[in-house]
Amino acid sequence: MNPVLAFTSKLDFLLLQNHSANRDCHFLLFL
């Protein structure tokens, strides 16, 4: 499995768990 894809999937899981708290972190990582 692509490690980047696995990492992104983990972030997406965190977003689902706590969307408002992790949205900014996810956004900053992809700036």
Q: For residue range 3-17, what is the model confidence (pLDDT) as tens digits?
A: 888 888 887 777 677
CA distance 24 to 16: 13
pLDDT computed for residue 19 by the predictor: 59
Amino acid at 24: D
More confident of the two residues 30 and 8: 8
pLDDT at residue 9 in the model: 84
- How confident is residue 18, by pLDDT bands cut at 50, 70 and 90? low
Residues 6+ apart with CB under 8 A from 24: none
